[in-house]
Amino acid sequence: MANTLDHKQNFLKGIIKENPVFVMLLGMCPTLGVTSSAFNGLGMGVATLFVLLMSNIVVSLIKSQIPNKVRIPAFIVIIASFVTVVEMVLEAFIPFLYEQLGIFIPLIVVNCLILGRAEAFASKNSLMASIVDALGMGVGFVIALTALGAVREILGNGSLFEFRFVSEDANTLILFILPPGAFIALAYLAIIFNRLTHKVA
Amino acid sequence: MTLKKKESTLVNMVVALFVITMAAGLSLGFVNDLTLEPKARARLAKKVKALNAVLPQYDNNPVSEVLRFKIEEAKDSIEFYPALKDSVIVGAAVTGASEKGYSGLVKLMVGFELDGSIKNIAVLEQKETPGLGTKMKGEKFLRQFRGKNPATFDLKVKKDGGEVDALAGATISTRAFSEATQQAYDVYKEVNKMEIKSDN
């Protein structure tokens, strides 16, 4: 069953049909919390992608060795370890991003997207399929967070990836940088996303 | 799947969790060791960058000559970095912090000229609202402090009877910023007094 067509579908499913943010509405805490700029969204997306990929790989490799009754604590320890690795590496090598993301890095542990994929997919599927699944879901998450961050940064701060196209004094829609703006922007993006993918499908 | 799933017997569960936590602990310790040095280097680089931004021209190494003071109002000790040029003191950078920011701690590095006037201020730590309180890092806000001497320039927000122009929509952040600056100045003043005394 592990042919390329399956992998392709498996990969695309995470980006379009089951996009974790716009379709499944998973992982809302970092989605709403850190996407005040496109760079933050991208950084959080990539950090989550890494943790998701590594946890899916490890869970898939040792799935037969984990007794059913303790599978959730086992998954959480695995996920928390990779999150801590990400935290230490970010602090050492990308301190700027580490400061920007702050408390949301340790909170990747409780992102239900990651535990969800470990439980629903990696613990039941082969290594290769789990890697493809993690990449698909992770890329879908990166795209969604970057898009949301970009929209909020453009509307709320008049810039994109720190590149300003209005002056520092200009009145921007600060609402979009603030938490309520995250909900509003996410809602409209989800509507547009579902409208577009609905037509395709 | 070829391997059969392990049964949930007590022994199996204990062994599985023990092995997993053991492996996690060991690998985290390993990564921690690896990143210890780069982390310290990143922190130092940040400090030096802030010092360069706030101090007058200097040719000593302020980081190695740092003095630390414990004061009642501050949780962390206050750091005092003297700046020397040709072995003559030309100014100093002092850290100041306030817990009263919109989301907690605001930590600054304030550079003083010898007469006590502010050379420049760098923000070391803040968690203020993006787009509002974070503008405390902006040139437009910081400009009003440069060259001012807190002895004559009242470090309070205009709303509270002082002379500081608050950031639009971020009065609380501005209050914390002013408080932290004041704290740095108080320490600078005290140290200056002590040094003058010991010189005589």
Sheet strands side by side (includes B88-101): B67-69, B78-85, B88-101, B104-113, B118-125
Task: List the domain range (segments joined by +) for residue A85.
Answer: 34-195
Is A20 a domain residue? no
Task: With both helix axes pointing from N to C terminus, report the angle between A38-62 and A127-157 in degrees, rounded to the nearest 10.
Answer: 170
Report the SS3 class of residue B106: strand
Q: What is the pLDDT of residues A97-149, one digit of tens each?
A: 888 787 788 888 888 888 888 888 888 888 888 888 889 999 999 999 999 99
- Residue B24 to residue A85, Cβ atoms within 8 A: no
Q: Smallest Cβ distance to A77: which of B3, B5, B24?
A: B24
Taking CB atoms and an 8 Å cutoff, what residues of chain B touch A69? 8, 13
Residue A14 in domain: no
In whole angstroms, give the CA distance from residue A92 to residue B140.
31
Cβ of B28 within 8 Å of Cβ of A85? The answer is yes
The answer to whether the Cβ–Cβ distance between A64 and B5 falls below 8 Å is: yes
Q: Which of A183, A137, A177, A133 is nearest to A155 (CA)?
A: A177
Q: Is residue A27 part of a domain?
A: no
pLDDT above 60 (res B200): no
Cα–Cα distances in Å, from B83 out to B36, B57, B96, B192? 28, 8, 17, 13
In a domain, A5, yes or no: no
Is the pLDDT higher at B161 or at A84? A84
- State how far residue A127 is from chain B, nearest Cα, in angstroms: 11
d(CA B144, CA B118): 10
Residue ranges of the domains in chain B?
55-199
Distance of alpha carbon B79 from alpha carbon B54, whole angstroms = 14
Establish if A137 belongs to a structural domain: yes
In chain A, the number of structural domains is 1
Contacts B131 to A, Cβ<8 Å: 36, 156-157, 172, 174, 177-178
Residues with Cβ within 8 Å of A177's Cβ and at least 6 positions away in sequence, in order, are A36, A152, A153, A156, A157, B129, B130, B131, B132
Q: Is the pLDDT of residue A167 over 80?
A: no
Query: What average pLDDT does the segment B34-63 reach?
Result: 86
Distance CA B8, CA B52 (A): 61
Helix (H) or strand (E) holding B98: strand B88-101
Query: What is the nearest CA distance from B193 to chain A, expressed in angstroms?
Result: 36
ipTM reported for the complex surpasses 0.85: no
**Contact map slice: B 23-62 vs A, CB within 8 A:** 24, 27-28, 31-32, 35, 38-39, 41-43, 46
Question: Does the residue A126 lie in any domain?
Answer: yes
pLDDT value at A199 more than 70: no
Interface subset of B 56-115, CB within 8 angstroms of A: none
Classify residue A167: in a domain, yes or no. Answer: yes
Q: Are A83 and A55 in contact (CB under 8 A)?
A: no
Q: Where are the alpha helices (DSSP H) in A2-120?
A: 4-15, 28-33, 38-62, 71-93, 95-101, 112-117
Give the mean pLDDT of B154-166: 84
Specify if A19 maps to a domain. Answer: no
CB contact under 8 A, B35 and A92: yes
